[in-house]
Amino acid sequence: MKVGSSHFDLLRVRLTSDSSVVIQVPHTCQSQVEVVFDREAGEVRPPAIDAPKTLEKPKITFHASGHYKMTSYIGWLPISRDRATVVGPRLEEITTPRRMLEILIPEVLPVGSKYSEEMDIVLDATSSPHVPLRCTVSCMSREECERVAGSNPKWVDTSVWEIWAILANEKQAWVFTLRASDDSVFYPRLGFFIPGEIKWGL
């Protein structure tokens, strides 16, 4: 992410050979599942669920199989604790734009130590209003992305400001939309929300 002449480390993103996508925070921080929205149990948080705090570089892997895994662990009980996994469609089945990840961005980010115009996805927030920002990550077919992008779209209906960049392989495109919405309070840390059905450990 860029603001003026300053660059900030937001995420590391990698496409794998099987079209899975790995998104990782580039610095070590405290990580924990803070809330789960379960179809049957509703909204559940620790200590109602077992979700230990860890010190790590949090990572989310969107596997081609449709299992989207975090490095954090959750369970109803410690004995059933497993990696937090959201089940969604197989990546190859996603053709029209689907929100895969919502990232809540804190007011302060680490200044980037490395920067390459050729290798980095740069989201320029210089012209953004000084309000809380979030980044919506969407997946779709490459053909659909080219069609939509050609019309200079507003990627998210609730955005009041947005800038976007695309990461694509031969078949699919991932759109990273840095945007301002109706948020009025900065999230205190980098936060992630993955839409889908949670898979609980046995």
pTM: 0.91
Confidence (pLDDT) at 116: 58
pLDDT in tens, 78-97: 999 999 999 999 999 999 99
Provide the pLDDT confidence category of residue 162 given band limits of 50, 70 and 90.
very high
Q: Would you mind telling me the total number of residues written for the chain in this entry? A: 202
Confidence (pLDDT) at 121: 80
Confidence (pLDDT) at 93: 95
Measured CA to CA, the distance from residue 190 to residue 135 in angstroms comes to 11
Confidence (pLDDT) at 114: 61
Give whole-number Cα distances, 88 to 60, 68, 85, in Å: 14, 7, 10
Provide the pLDDT confidence category of residue 108 given band limits of 50, 70 and 90.
confident
Largest CA-CA distance found in the chain, in angstroms, rounded: 51
Parallel, antiparallel, or unpaired: how do β-strands 59-62 and 21-24 relate?
antiparallel
> Cβ of 46: how many Cβ atoms within 10 Å?
15
Domain residue ranges of the chain, discontinuous segments joined by +: 2-199
Confidence (pLDDT) at 77: 93
Rounded mean pLDDT of 121-148? 92
Q: To which residue do tokens 């300053």 refer?
A: 6
> By C-alpha distance, which of 175, 169, 174 is closest to 19?
169
State yes or no: cis peptide before 47, omega within 30 of 0: yes
pLDDT in tens, 8-35: 888 889 888 888 999 998 888 899 999 9
Asked whether 68 and 100 are in contact (CB, 8 A), the reply is yes
59 pLDDT above the threshold of 60: yes
